[in-house]
Structure 1
Amino acid sequence: MIAVVAILFFVFTNLYTEVLWYNQLGFLSVLTTQWFAGAAMFGIGFFAMAIPVFISIEIAFRFRPVYAKLNSQLDRYQQVVEPLRRVAAFGIPAVLGLFAGVSSASRWQVTLQYLNRTPFGTTDPQFNMDISFYVYDLPFWQGVVGFASAVVLIAGIAAIATSYLYGAIRFGQREVRISKTARIQVAITAGVYLLLQAVSIWLDQFATLSNTGGLITGASYSDVNATIPGLQILAGIAVIVAVLFLLAAFIGRWRLPVIGTVLLIVSGLILGSLYPWVVQRFQVLPSERSLEQPYLQDNIDLTRDAYDVSDVDTIPYDATTTAAPGQLRADAATTSSIRILDPALVSSTFAALQQFRQYYQFPTDLNVDRYTIDGKTQDVVSSVRDLNLAQLGTSASWYNQTVVYTHGYGIVAAYGNQRAVDGQPVFAEQGIPSTGALGDYEQRIYFGENSPDYSIVGAPEGSPQIELDYPSGTNGASQTYTTFTGDGGPKLDNVFNKLAYALKFSSQEIFLSEAVNNDSQILYDRDPATRVSKVAPYLTIDSAPYASVVDGKVVWIVDGYTTTSEYPYSRTEGLSAAIADTYTPKPGYAPDNNINYIRNSVKATVDAYDGKVTLYAWDETDPLLQTWQKIFPSTLKPMSDMSAQLMSHVRYPADLFKVQRAILGQYHVTDAGSFYSREDAWTTPNDPTSPASNPTTQPPYYLTLQVPTQDAPSYSIYSTFIPLTGQDTSKSLNGYLAVDSNAGSTAGEKSADYGKMRLLTLPKDATVPGPGQVQNKFNSDPTVSQALNLLKQGSTEVLSGNLLTLPVGGGLLYVQPVYVRSRGETSYPLLQKILVGFGDKIAFEDTLDAALDDLFGGNSGATAGDGGITTPATGSGSGTGTPAGTGDNAALTKALSDAEAALTARTAALQAADWTAYGVADQQLKDAVAAAIAASGAQ
């Protein structure tokens, strides 16, 4: 009894803390709606199972033959069962009801969607039904029929077992004797069950429109001309056999229903399997292209609609492969924005230069964002400085982990198209507290992707501050402390709340510690994706939330998708497999997340300071979102409430783009005949920098670029396509997909071009090299190999950065940064070289400007702007490595000569891992650069 009470109390505290969490966040209605819906469905399932089973058992018992002569075995069974009969009569239905209730409760979403369904306004080509029928109605009614069939079947089994136990059904040597009551009960039960099967078979014809596998997703020729008519006939036969069973209940003859049952089984085999196979084998296969063409066209059209790629702008791009002087002059705006900083390689560089303490950390892959700096939009590589409590070592006490180290601090951002003279990033925002071009903002990160499981914050006004703010201070202090003043979590202002959370987190300190007071709050479920998924359980959350400075705060921007797998004629994609690439590894299991419809319907923000979650309806035309808005009213805000700064940081989500590019690999072909032949099927290339033993798909990249038909460069996400068959290193480029990712900077108003998809298609006879071919050329070029081998000498290693592809100069330009890293434990990558390729030509230089000029015959016609070397002292440069200004005098000449010598000495020291010599040369370089700036008169 004590154990039961303890278990119930633990369950109660878990539910109670959930109420506190949702209530504090302002989404309690989301929790209660789920609970009420689940409870109602549980009750329906419980009673819908328990009552029929109980009635079936009770009827069989009450109308048993009183004077039936039983064999000795049954007599012994009765003697065992009889003392427990009343318990079994109620217990068996109750236990079955519990299982049925749990199963029904899990389908609360299907039921609520059906009750609040919203029409799509589009019909399917086969039955002319609105798409909403397949998304809402069909799953609901299939569930109802399946559940009812299970109830009737179990009730029938219970009736037969009870009748047999009490002699209503007896088996002789040559016959079966059955009482009148048992006959009526069994026959009616069988008739009802067959009627339900008739309904199920009738519904199955609609499910053929979501069939997967083979050539077509949806109903094919054999489905339409054999399977669907066969299912309709089978449903009719099932109704007839059901009527025969109902007649047998009264006339007492079983011959007709038995014959009908055999006929139904044989018909099922013939109509459901044999006939469709005959049609497919002898009619379709000899003429498959012509017979399947209309159904294949339906598959193409509805797949493109379901994945929102029907409006892709296909642009023939006759890419040149010849590089000539001045060729990039018309693309100067694009080349000046080329990102040479690889967000996947500079995380350790950020950590080495900006982490400051072991209890801070940066994620493995940084974010590519953009900010308006000095009136110009700049692409930056950025990240929050989050906590890493695993590195506290001997200081990792409960007190330190829970009430002292409670938050990260600040954002670090580096210009994407700049590097310092030594290969370090040029920071637009740095230090702790952070300073730079992002302005003033609340820098404390209480809610992040690596925040502790829980922290206890807050204290009465005037009490000592114990939360470590950042590791520096004023008046000689080595640290600064703070007290959380926001509303970020449930309050621990009474004994019961403290006890509840002590049990939830299995921590007696929450209840006993003096650090927990009536003004304390407990912060948990702090990951932005987790918070959004809890308050919007109907959304599929993007795998890469990102943090931006918006309106004086750091906010996490999280993309949410509405999805379904019931869209007719639409190809099914495994979401986890579609988004897997170098940045997003495949899961170690096979999740059930197949989809064939997706919309980025919600943009969510999570305040990094107080954890506030705000949901914005981004795609208000989405029928799925409209349905969920009916279920959870008042939880979403309109897009018009989004501020101008928030709009400027919203981007086209990467996961949606990955799914769409997976679809467009084949469904860029809109003609059914061409699609059938697979003559132009594409795929996304493998990441050429991934290991050959474990290749990964090349991720899409965010860049500011200008695609043909665009008037100006725009922040975009892009990916490339190569032929589906063959090795990557032998494949030319077939297509280039770019999507305008700039939502604009007008409050509450989406840019007209946001989400515009442009697909550049190269001529089939083109020989534009693909990423694998270009990487192979980079690696095998004698000059490049020699230079890389020199960089690899000593204790250093060379790291190839992301291989970017840009449609400039009438062709496709490849750009790859090359990093050098010492093999020491405290080393980090430094950007030293730039590889570029255009057609069959490549170049390898210290700066992007120099590489482009070399590639295009000495003068590319465009400058890379800030893509060259910049000085650490100023954080800006001319893009050529030469300080701004003319200043042609002896002092300037000497300073430049000294800088060149110091740079050579420092590179040699880096290759030899001689850090003492490296430091001396680095200082000499800084002194020489400062002297050059002074001599030239530059600021």
Structure 2
Amino acid sequence: MASAPFPSFDFDPSSIKDKLSGRTKWIVLALILVPIFVLLWLARGIFTDYLWYSKMGFEDVFITILLTKTILFFVGFAFVLALVLANLFFVNRKTAGPLDAPLPENMVGIIKKLLVIVCVLVSLILAVILGSVVASKWELFLRFSNAAGFGVKDPLHGNDISFYVFELPIYAFLQGWLLVCVVITMLATTALAFLNFTLRGTAFTLTTPLRNHLLVLGSLAILVLSAGYWIDWLELVRSEHGIVYGAAYADVYARQPAYLVLTIAGVVVSFVMLLGSFLGKIKLSLAPVGVWVILIIGLGTVWPSVVQQFSVDPNEFVKETKYIERNIEFTKLGFGLQAIEETFYEAEGEITAELMAENIPTVENIRLWDYKPLTNVYKQIQLIRPYYDFKDADVDRYTIDGEYRQVLLAAREVAPEKLKEEAQTWVNQKLFYTHGIGIAMSPATEFTPEGRPIFFAKDIPANGEIPVSSSRQGASPDIMVKNPRIYYGENTKDYVIVDTNTKELDYQTGEGELIVRSYEGSGGVSIGSYFRKLIYAWQMRDINILISSQINENSKIQYRRSIEERISTLAPFLKLDKDPYIVAANDQLYWIQDAYTTSDKFPYSQPTDEDETSLGHYNYIRNSIKVVMNAYTGDVGFYLWDTTDPVALTYQNMFPTLFSDRDSMPSDLISHVRYPQGLFAIQAEKYIKYHMENPQHFYGNEDLWAFPQEKFGQQEGLQPLEPYYVIMRLPGETKEEFVQLIPYTPDGRPNMVGWLAARSDAPEYGKLIAFNFPKDRQVDGPEQVEARIDNDQDISAWFTLRCTEGSTCIRGNLLVIPIGNSILYAEPIYIQAEGVSFPELKKVILSTAHKVVMGDSLNDALYQITGTKDTIAAMQEDVKKETTSTPVNLEGAGDSKLSEIRNSIGNLKAELDKIESLFENLEEAIKGD
């Protein structure tokens, strides 16, 4: 007999029993209170979430998600509890036996009871954990049960794409989850057996019942593992072993048969293990496992490597051609590149006065203001009060005074955290400073002689209404924002309480009078009752909600006020573009947020790299959802924009009441929908390589492109050009439209080879067009234009003179503007004086294929490009007569007389600058002598 692990010792069992009895009541109390607290915590979260979803009008979404989570949790909980408990009690019974330790009977009884309690507790804890894991996959199960078909089959297995996007992920999850359950059960039963033997005072012995039981569990683990190889066989369409993503030659001819063999072999091994456990033959049970492991190493690892090295690598292109073609086809499908229309662009015309006059809307909308410096300007001259803030300026378009204008605008949001520390009281932060007000809006092209933006919307008028208009319109604005209050936005992170006994600050007049008011909208959850105040005090971890006398029966709490959090809570399955933008329409302000449906399960489609985008790792993306949020009420509308997207249709099947048809979006908002910059950047990045459809070219990167390089800001080096919005007339079209574009250069070379455009205006919204330059013609790229700017003697002299100590020159984005069949390059120059926290727009550089000029304004630079002011003026008059439209001014500021005066002032200023430069040079020459 094995020696007992316990030494002989004497003790009083009654004293131990007394100690345990004294602590039992505390243990029991803890076991009761902890679950009660957890349940109350869950109930509080469910209750407040239900109130919030109901207030939003989407309680059906909440109930669907909650019900799915609950069902999945209890199914997983019950399965794990039954599995673990049954195995633990079986092993406990089979490993029980006579004691060989100096323990009294009373103590043995206590230990046995404790052992039962521990088994139950361990089983419950494991069931809760693993049940929660299943519940967390609620979206996976809902997608599985509501899947829409793609109508496209994969070329390897012949399954619809929906099988890989919606079905196979469920099988993969369940396989992994079941494997974890079985392995944990094996570990728990082994640990219990060891504990039982130890408490009995005997050495651990693998008895026949215990051995057979572990063999049964092992056979289950082998069976689940073999199911994993079947899943691997199916997931070869997303293999990363070959030259391209998706099943390649070695996958098809080595791994595919290997995984099938391993799957079948695993099932056989599992059966043999089970048979061996019943027959009591350990060798029969374990020998097949060894064979299976050898097969895994040989067929699953060695054989594919051999095929790759000795068959594929020496003849890679020949072997992989078919799979390269599949990768090209499905990557273009996954990222929406298959819809790109390709055309030629001559890029050979000269920039003439006539061409300028034919494209006046394009020219007068050249974006000189970059959103980064303009945001800094807004923060200095348009915040009005220290408790407001602008997050960033967004690009959009509006019809102002009859003209289609590109603008930049930003929302003036409340920022109570900027108050002085002594003013950051609970009442101020939660009840008084509750909302921002109004917007700042500027045309993209114009600036004052001082280098500041001209405004279409600014300040906070005395009546609290924001007019949007040009300076020509006076008292007849195009848009009057009668309710410009912003309770929900980008910076509204914290909760506020409205309709309290404390009036809210609305705005401060120029005379310093504080205008206060109470909230009149529908946003917020009522907290008038004591019970709700108690619940939300707990929810927000803020006792002031419960004890403040300022909260009355009409008060409402507004939380989840930021666009991202609000939308992500309602639709957590959507990926959000990083740039929501404010829109003035229908007398108030709205936010438009582009939302994406994505998947990382699309066969053969090359995934994005982690650093390419903030949206994660995926190989399928569509901008199928446009989300609109009312800045005053917080109401959110989800509009299904792309009814051909199976992922979006699946979500619509999951939540029928969540989405509305795109036709139900108000027309004033539809006119501001734009092609999202995030999606376009992703597609443009993929198109760098996937414009090549010839497998030979693709394999050798023979026509690989790159994004152009530009100088930007105060940096001496170059950085990649980013996509940008322009208003322009596309070649072959009859009118200007809002377009996003990006030029391309050959990889490693500076000249341009083409550009990609995305259209935003109805009815052409969403169409992508690639304009390819002739391969036998040199077209300067941005990097070459930057070099020409640096080498221009007049421009270089101006930089040397002005960008000295005390002033910093900032180079804006170099924009490539296609006009007719010609290319115009534009780059704004900002100067930031020492001690001034915002830059001023001082110069405009324009370049054509043969000329680089710098002017004090866009007009001034255009005159230098064309060489004749009278020609442009005459052509403008011709266009005015033909279109009978409002007189067009290239600067867009004031009437023709004012424009003429400003042009004269600008020309005079330019001459004065030249004289100043001459005097400086003369002074330096004298000092040198």
TM tier, shorter chain?
Answer: 0.7 to 0.9
How far residue 777 of structure 1 moved from its aligned partner, in angstroms, is: 2.7
The structure-2 alpha-carbon separation of the partners of 1:186 and 1:455, relative to structure 1 and needing over 3 Å to count, comes to closer
Residue 518 of structure 2 is aligned to residue 483 of structure 1: yes
1:550 aligns with 2:580: no
Question: Take 2:798 and 2:822, find their aligned partners in 1: how far apart are those partners?
Answer: 27
Matches within 5 A, 1:290-439: 290-320=318-348, 326=354, 328=356, 330-363=358-391, 365-393=392-420, 394-433=422-461, 434-437=466-469, 438-439=478-479
Per the alignment, residue 213 of structure 2 pairs with: 185
In 1: Cα distance, 2:213 partner to 2:675 partner: 61
Question: In the alignment, does 2:729 pair up with 1:706?
Answer: yes
Does 2:706 match 1:683? yes
Q: Is the 8 A contact 2:638 2:658 kept in 1?
A: yes
Other structure's SS at 1:295 match? helix
Q: 1:454 to 1:89 in 2, by over 3 A?
A: closer
Matches within 5 A, 1:62-101: 62-64=93-95, 66=97, 82-101=112-131
Q: Deviations over 1:810-849 (max 9, x none)?
A: 2322111112222224x53222211112225311111223
Determine if contact 2:435/2:506 at 8 Å carries over to the other structure: yes
- Name the structure 2 match of 1:870: none
- Is the contact between residue 564 and residue 595 of structure 1 (CA under 8 Å) also seen in structure 2? yes
Contact kept, 8 Å, 2:577 with 2:594, in 1: the verdict is yes
Q: Which residue of 1 aligns with 2:12?
A: none
8 A Cα contact 1:336 1:865, kept in partner: no
Letter in 1 for 2:750: K
The CA distance in 2 between the partners of 1:110 and 1:60, in whole Å, is 35
Q: Which residue of 2 aligns with 1:50?
A: 81
Alpha-carbon shift at residue 539 of structure 1 (Å): 0.6
CA 1:908 to 1:7, structure 2 compared with 1: closer, same or farther past 3 Å? farther
Aligned-pair RMSD on alpha carbons?
A: 3.5
Q: 3-state SS of the aligned residue for 2:343?
A: strand
- Structure 1 residues 93-123: Cα deviation after superposition (integer angstroms, max 9, x where no partner): 2222222122222211111111222211111
Residue 495 of structure 2 is aligned to residue 468 of structure 1: no
Describe how 1:582-621 pairs up with structure 2 within 5 A.
593-621=616-644
Q: Is the 8 A contact 1:335 1:865 kept in 2?
A: no
Specify the SS of the correspondent of 1:807: strand
Where in structure 1 are there 5+ consecutive unaligned residues?
581-590, 745-750, 867-874, 913-939
- Give, in angstroms, the shift of residue 141 of structure 1: 0.7
Q: 1:824 maps to what in 2?
A: 835
Superposed, which structure 2 residues align to 1:110-259 within 5 Å? 110-163=140-193, 179-212=207-240, 215-259=243-287
Aligned to 1:768: 779
2:554 and 2:110 map into 1 onto residues whose CA distance is 63
1:853-880 per-residue CA deviation (whole Å, 9 max, x = no partner) reads 42345579768989xxxxxxxx998337
- Write the letter of the residue equivalent to 1:316: F
Alignment match, 1:789 = 800
- Give the equivalent residue in structure 2 for 1:519: 554
Provide Cα deviations, 1:419-449, integer angstroms capped at 9, x if missing partner: 2333222211223132232422211111111
Q: Does 1:732 align with 2:751?
A: yes
Which stretch shows the higher mean deviation, 596-605 or 617-626? 617-626
Distance in 2 between residues matched to 1:691 and 1:210, nearest whole Å: 44
Distance 2:527 2:633 in 1: 16
The correspondence for 1:455, drawn from 487, 491, 496, is: 496
Structure 2 CA distance for partners of 1:51 and 1:697, relative to 1, 3 Å: farther
Tell me the secondary structure at the aligned position of residue 656 of structure 2.
coil
Structure 2 matches for 1:639-650, cutoff 5 A? Answer: 639-650=662-673
The aligned length equals: 860
Alignment of 1:740-759 (within 5 A): 740-742=759-761, 744=762, 751=763, 753-759=764-770
Give the counterpart of 2:296 among 261, 268, 277. 268
Give the match's secondary structure for 2:816: strand
Distance 1:851 1:187 in 2: 85
Q: For 1:836, what is the secondary structure of its paired residue?
A: strand
CA contact (8 A) 2:368 2:827 kept: yes
Asked if structure 1 preserves the Cα contact closer than 8 Å seen for 2:533 and 2:545, the reply is yes
After TM superposition, give the deviation of residue 177 of structure 1 in Å: 7.7
Q: Matched residues in 2 for 1:676 and 1:611: separation?
A: 51
Alpha-carbon shift at residue 230 of structure 1 (Å):
0.5
Change (3 A) 1:483 1:686: farther
In 2, the alpha carbon distance for the partners of 1:119 and 1:877 equals 52
Structure 1 match to 2:26: none
In the alignment, the residues of structure 2 paired with residue 896 and residue 144 of structure 1 have an alpha-carbon distance, to the nearest angstrom, of 72
CA distance in 2: counterparts of 1:145 and 1:828, whole angstroms: 58
Q: What is the aligned partner in structure 1 of residue 860 from structure 2?
A: 850
Question: Is this contact kept in 2: 1:386–1:448, CA < 8 A?
Answer: yes
SS of structure 2 residue aligned to 1:831: strand
Shift of 1:58: 1.7
- CA gap of 1:691–1:430, structure 2 versus 1, over 3 A, is closer
1:339/1:897 CA distance change after superposition, 3 Å: closer
Q: Aligned equivalents of 2:246 and 2:76: distance in 1?
A: 32
**TM-score normalised by length of structure 1:** 0.85
Provide the rounded CA distance (Å) in 1 between the counterparts of 2:718 and 2:854: 25
Among 132, 152, 155, the alignment partner of 1:102 is 132
Per-residue deviation at 1:183? 4.5
Distance in 1 between the 2:63 and 2:348 partners? 61
Checking the alignment, whether the CA contact within 8 Å between 1:334 and 1:713 is kept in structure 2 is yes
Amino acid at match of 2:438: G
The separation in 2 between residues aligned to 1:897 and 1:656, in whole angstroms, is: 44
Give secondary structure in 1 for the equivalent of 2:726.
Answer: strand
Q: Secondary structure at the match of 1:665?
A: helix
Q: Counterpart of 1:664 in structure 2: which amino acid?
A: Y
- What amino acid is the match of 2:467? T
Contact map agreement 1:795 1:822 (CA 8 A) in 2: yes
**Using a 3 Å threshold, how does the CA distance of structure 1 residues 574 and 10 change in structure 2: closer, same or farther?**
same
Which string of whole-angstrom CA distances, capped at 9 and with x for unpartnered residues, describes residues 266-292 of structure 1? 111111111100110010011111110
Secondary structure of 1:383 counterpart: strand
Q: 1:228 to 1:527 in 2, by over 3 A?
A: same
Letter in 2 for 1:90: V
AA partner of residue 665 (structure 2): M
2:56 corresponds to which residue?
Answer: 25
The question of whether the paired residues in 1 share the 8 Å contact of 2:58 and 2:657 is answered with no
Q: Which amino acid aligns with 2:122?
A: I
Distance of 2:732 and 2:573 partners within structure 1: 38
Give TM-score, length-normalised by structure 2.
0.86
Q: Structure 1 770/361 Cα, relative in aligned 2: closer, same or farther at 3 Å?
A: same
> Matched residue of 1:155: which SS?
helix
Alpha-carbon distance between aligned partners in 1 of 2:575 and 2:903, rounded to the nearest angstrom: 56
Q: Is the 8 A contact 1:877 1:883 kept in 2?
A: no
Q: Could you list the per-position Cα deviations for residues 695-726 of structure 1 after superposition, in whole angstroms to 9, with x for gaps in the alignment? A: 754321111112334343210111122233x3
Distance 2:425 2:894 in 1: 52
The Cα offsets for residues 621-676 of structure 1, whole Å up to 9 and x where unpaired, read as 21111211222221111112112111101111111111111111111111222111
CA 317–263 in structure 1, closer or farther in 2 if over 3 Å, else same? same
Tell me the amino acid that sits aligned with residue 423 of structure 1: G
Native 8 Å contact 1:737 1:759 kept in 2: yes
Distance 1:511 1:299 in 2: 60
What amino acid is aligned across from residue 120 of structure 1 in structure 2? F
One-letter amino acid of the counterpart of residue 555, structure 1: Y
Residues 409 and 439 in structure 2, CA contact (< 8 A), matched pair in contact too = yes
